[in-house]
Structure 1
Amino acid sequence: MAALVTAGLAAVSSPAAAQSRIALSPDQVLVTPQGDILDYVPENGEVRVMRDARGRTVLVDNWGNIVATVMGSRAANEGRRRPPPDPYGAEPYGDEAFGGQPSRNTTFGNEAYGERPYIRQRGGANGVPDYRNFVPPGVERGDLPMTDQTAPQDENDLAALPPEQPTASQGTTLPRAAAITRKSSAEITALQVFLDREGFSPGVIDGKNGSNVTKAIEAWQQATGETLDPNNTDDILERLRLSGGLAITTYTITAADAAGPYVAEIPEDYAHKALLPHMSFTSTTEMLGERFHMDEAYLRELNPGVDFTIPGTIIKVINPGEPKTGKVTRVVADKARKQVFAYDEAGTLIAAYPATIGSSDTPSPSGTVQVDRIALNPGYTYNPKINFKQGENDKVLTLQPGPNGPVGTVWIALSKPTYGIHGTPEPSKIGKTQSHGCVRLTNWDATELAKMVSVGTTVEFLD
C-alpha cells in the first residue's frame, strides 16, 4: 500500500526534512485524516514530508499512511468536526431499541466489556452500537429473544460454490461494472475499502477480486449515477482520502483484546454447541478480523510472524470508516444476484450487501414480507420439529449468544415464521454458499442494516 500512496504524493525537499523534528510555523497545525488536531509533532524518522495531489504538505508514516496534513490553524479549527456525543452510557440494545419487547440479554456499557471500545462511535438511527467497535459479550445468560416459533431456520454453510459473475434478475437491473485487470492485492484492498465505506459492501476485505466486488461496484453505480473505474488506482486513492484516509492503518492490541473471552473451538454438532457457556470467538485474530471487516487469513498475511496475543503489539489492519446511516423503508433480497438492497422512503438505493439466500432444497420465501422483530446478540433455539435436521439431534437445544452462533450477532425476524435476515460465524463464505432459506450477511453488514430498518419495514424477495 505504501507504493500506492507514493504514486499520488511527491517528496518535499526542505530544511524540515533534515531536522530531527518537523518544523511548523506558529500559525500551522497538524490535522489527522479524521479531522482532529494532532497534539504533538512527530519525529522526522517517524514520518516523511510529502505533498499530495492538491499541493498540501502531508506527513506519511513508514507504511504509507497519511498521519497528518499541515494546515493553517484558523482553517483547521473552523473545519474541525465536533466530537460525537458520548455513547458509553449503559443503554439497552435488545428488541426494545426497535419498538419490540426487551430481550434482557445485556446492556451496552463499559462494564460489559472491561474497558471502552477502541474507537468512539456515532450512534445509529436507532441508537444501536456498531458491531465493529466491540466484541459482543456472551457470558451472561438471559432470556433468549427467540422462541420455538421464531427460531431461525439457518445454520452453518452447506457447501462452497465457485465464484461467479452476478446475473441480472427479473427485478434488479444494474449498470455493469468494468472488468478488473491485473491489479495488485493492495489495489483491490483499496477498492474494497472504498466500497465498504460507501455502504456497498464487498463482504470480507481480503485483497482479492471476485463476484462480491463486482456486485458492490454495480450497486454503487446504480445509487450514485456515476461510473466507477476499478482500474483507475489514483481515482480510488483520492476517493479513499476524501472518505477517511488510506485503506490500511495501524492498531495496537489491547489487554482486553488478548483476554477475550474466547473458546477453544466451535464444534459442529449442535448438542455440543449447547454445552458451551457462550459462542464467542476462538482467537484474537478471528475477533480482530471481524472487527476490521477482514478475512482472518488476510490479517495474518499483512502481519507475518506477529503474535496477536501480546498486548501492545502494533499491527496493520483495514480502516473501514464510519458505518452507513439512514432510514430504510424497503429491503430487496435478490436471489439471483445473491445481494440485498436497502432503499429509503424516497426509493433511493442507499446500501447493498452480498448475501447467501436459501438453497434448492430449502428455498427462501418469495413475494413480500415485513420485518417483525430485531434482536442483537441473540441466543438460538434449535427445534428439529420446525427447523432443519442437524446431525442426530432430535431434541430442542438452546445455544448461548455470541458471534460464532448459527445466526451470528444479529437476527432480523420476518413476518414469515422461522425466516429472517441475520449474521454468520463464517463471513468469508457470504455470497458463495447455500443456506437453509434465510438471508445471511456478514455480522457487520447485518448490524449496519439492523440499525437502519425498523419493525414493519418491507422485505421483498426476487427470484
Structure 2
Amino acid sequence: MAASVTGIALAPAHAQQPSRETILVSPEGDILDYIPNDGSVRWARDNRGNTVLVDNWGNVVATAMPAGRYFARNNDYRRDRYRDVSGYPETDPDYFPPAPSSDFGDDLTTSSVPEMREALPGDIERQTLPDADFGNSQQMPDFNDGNDDSAALPETTDPNAEFVPGPKFQPATALGKMSSAEITALQVFLDREGFSPGVIDGKKGSNVTKAIEAWQNATGDTLDPNNADDILERLRLSGGMAFTTYEITAADAAGPYVASIPDDYAQKAALPHLSYTSTTEMLAEKFHMDEAYLKEINPGVDFTIPGTIVKVIDTGTPKTGKVAKILADKGRKQVLAYDENGTLIAAYPASIGSADTPSPSGLVTVERIALNPGYTYNPKINFQQGSNNKVLTLQPGPNGPVGTVWIALSKPTYGIHGTPEPSKIGKTQSHGCIRLTNWDATELAKMTSAGVTVEFVD
C-alpha cells in the first residue's frame, strides 16, 4: 500500500488579500477584528485556493470567507460535489513528493489540528507517507462496539520472532456498579492525566481498565474507580468537573462538511476533502467523545444552529513532556510513552497489527511526523481495495485513512497514526500499523521527535 503526505502548502506572502465583501474567521470560529501590523502575520493561499492569514510559525490565524457563507446555517451547497479521480502514473518519478527542506516554513501549517497551535517539537515536517494499513474493506475484521475487546491478537504474530514480553502492571480494581456520569468522571480524569481511556462514552470497558493500570504504574498511587467522592476531588484538582458547556459557532455549523464518507477508495478520491460529515462528529472529536454519547447527553438539540449551547466534556490541558521511548504493547493493545528517565508519562489505547498483516517486532525509531496527511493509494504496492486497480490520490482530513497525524517509523510502510473511527480503537485489529484516536495521536506527536525509539512488545 502506498500513501503520500500532502500538507496545506502556503503560497508566497504576496497572495491576494481579501476584499471588503469577505470577513476573517479565526480557527475558533470568531471574526477577526484587527490585523497586527508588526510583521508577525502575512497573507498567503492554502492548497485549496483559500486566502489565509498566517503567523511566522506557519499557523493559520484566520481564513477569509464570504460573509454570506459565514452566517449561513447549512452546507447543502457542498453535498454530492465530486471531482474526477486523478493520480500519478506508477512510473512517474515524482510519484512520492519530496519532503520539505526545513521543519518550519511555508509548507507547514497545523490549522486542521486544533491543539497544534503552539510551537512544535523539532523534526516535525510534511513528509511522504509510505504505506498505510488499510486493506480491502471486505477483509477487515468484524467490529464489535461492545465493552469487550474483539478480534484478539495472536500471542505472537511471527513464530520466528523473538518473544519480547511487555511490562506487567498491578491489576486495577474491578469497576462495580456505577452510573454513566460516574464512569464519565473517571474517564475524564484519566484523559486529563494523559492516560487515555479512548473515546469518552460513560461506559465501562478494557480501555478504562488499561488506563487505570498505566496511571497507577506511573504515579505509584492506587486509584479506586468505585470511590466517586475521590474521583470528583481528583477532577476538581485537575481542572474542574467533567462536563462544561460550549456555544456552537457559525464556523462550526458551516463546516465545510461532506455528506458521507464512502467505503470505496475511488469515491473517496473524488471528494474535495475528507472532512467531518456533521457538526456532531466534529464536536465529538474536539471534546474526545463518542458521537452517540454527545447526542445522548444533549437530547433534542439541533447542532447545526449557531449560538446553541451544548453540554460537552471539559478535556482540560493536553499532556506535555518530552518522550524518549515508546512501547507498542501488542498484548495490552496500548501505546506507552516514557521520558528519558524511563518514567511512564502517557498511555493510549491502540489497535496494533493483525494475524495477516502483523506489526513488526523489535526496535525501530521515529523518522518524522506529518500533520493533516493526504493519502495515495497504489494497488501494486500492497493491496487492492475493491475493484480499484489504479493509483488514487485522497485528500487530507480527519476521515482520511490515517486520520490527522502520521508518525513515520524507520521500518518502511509502518507508522503511528490517527483514525476516522475513534470508537473502535483498542477493540479491533489494525493492518500492521499503530492506530490511535486523532486526539491521542496529536498529543503523542507534540511530545515526540525524530530519533525516538519505538519498541514492539508482546
Alignment TM-score > 0.5, same fold? yes
Check if 1:154 corresponds to 2:156. no
Residue of structure 2 equivalent to 1:408: 403
- Residue in 2 aligned with 1:233? 228
> Which residue in 2 is equivalent to 1:46?
none
Q: Is the 8 A contact 2:59 2:117 kept in 1?
A: no
What is the rounded CA distance, in whole Å, between the counterparts of 1:128 and 1:457 in structure 2? 11
Asked whether 1:431 is paired with 2:413, we answer no
Of the candidates 92, 96, 104, which is equivalent to residue 58 of structure 2?
92
8 Å contact kept, 1:98–1:455: no
Aligned to 1:17: none
Query: 1:128 and 1:437 mapped to 2: Cα distance?
Result: 24
Distance in structure 2 (CA, Å) of the matches to 1:173 and 1:252? 44
Give 1:361's match in structure 2, choosing from 346, 356, 374.
356
Answer yes or no: is the 8 Å Cα contact 1:365–1:437 preserved in 2.
yes
Equivalent residues of 2:258, 2:274 under 8 A apart = yes
- Among candidates 368, 376, 383, match of residue 381 of structure 1: 376
Question: Which of these residues, 299, 304, 307, is aligned with residue 309 of structure 1?
Answer: 304
For 2:347 and 2:119, locate their aligned partners in 1 and report how far apart those are by CA, in whole Å: 17
Shift of 1:100: 6.0
> Does 1:184 pair with 2:179?
yes
Change (3 A) 1:100 1:359: farther
Structure 1 residue 96: deviation in Å?
12
Aligned to 2:328, the other structure's residue is in SS state strand
Amino acid at match of 1:160: F
Secondary structure of the corresponding residue to residue 317 of structure 1: strand
Contact 2:200 2:289 in 1 (8 A): yes
- C-alpha spacing 1:179/1:418, structure 2 compared with 1 (3 Å): same
Query: Secondary structure of 1:374's match?
Result: strand
Question: Residue 456 of structure 2 aligns to a residue in which SS?
Answer: strand
Change (3 A) 1:146 1:425: same
Structure 2 match to 1:441 = 436
Q: Is the 8 A contact 2:123 2:369 kept in 1?
A: no
Counterparts of 1:354 and 1:245, CA distance in 2? 24
Residue 315 of structure 2 aligns with an amino acid whose one-letter code is P
Q: 1:285 aligned to 2:280?
A: yes
CA–CA separation in structure 1 for the residues paired with 2:238 and 2:405: 27
Instruction: Give the 3 Å change call, closer, same or farther, for CA 425–305 of structure 1 in structure 2.
Output: same
CA contact (8 A) 2:418 2:441 kept: yes
TM-score, scaled relative to structure 2: 0.72
Aligned length: 355
SS in 2 for 1:215: helix
Q: Supply the distance in 1 between the matched residues of 2:238 and 2:105 (Cα, whole angstroms).
A: 36
1:90 shift after superposition: 5.2
Query: Aligned partners of 1:98 and 1:203: how far apart in 2?
Result: 33
Look up the SS of the partner of 2:321 in the other structure: coil
Q: How does 1:325-404 map to 2 (within 5 A)?
A: 325-404=320-399
The structure 2 residue matched to 1:216, chosen from 184, 188, 211, is 211
In 2, the alpha carbon distance for the partners of 1:271 and 1:100 equals 33
Q: Pick which of 184-193 and 155-164 moved more.
A: 155-164
Cα separation, partners in 2 of 1:93 and 1:454, compared to 1, 3 Å: farther
RCO higher in 1 or 2 (8 Å CA, sep ≥ 6)?
Answer: 2
CA contact (8 A) 1:124 1:451 kept: no
Shift of 1:402: 0.3
Superposed CA RMSD in Å reads: 3.1
Give SS of 1:152's match: coil
Matched residues in 2 for 1:252 and 1:229: separation?
34
Which structure shows the higher helix fraction?
1
Amino acid at match of 1:303: N
- Amino-acid identity (%): 70
Question: Structure 1 CA distance, aligned partners of 2:303 and 2:122?
Answer: 32
How far residue 92 of structure 1 moved from its aligned partner, in angstroms, is 3.1
Query: How many Å apart are 1:413 and its aligned residue?
Result: 0.6
Find the aligned partners of 2:122 and 2:226 in 1 and give their Cα distance.
38
Q: How does 1:38-57 map to 2 (within 5 A)?
A: none
| TM-fit CA distance, 1:105 | 5.4
Structure showing greater radius of gyration is 1
Q: Deviations over 1:205-253 (max 9, x none)?
A: 0000000000000000000001000000000000000111000000000
SS of the equivalent of 1:448 reads: helix
1:91 Cα deviation after fit: 2.3
Question: Structure 1 stretches of 5 or more lacking a match?
Answer: 1-85, 130-142
Give, in whole Å, the separation in 2 of the partners of 1:233 and 1:97: 50
Q: Pick from 94, 106, 109: which aligns with 1:107?
A: 109
Contact 2:103–2:123 (CA<8 Å) still a contact in 1? no
Note the C-alpha offset of 1:126: 2.1
Answer whether contact 1:380 1:399 (CA < 8 A) is retained: yes
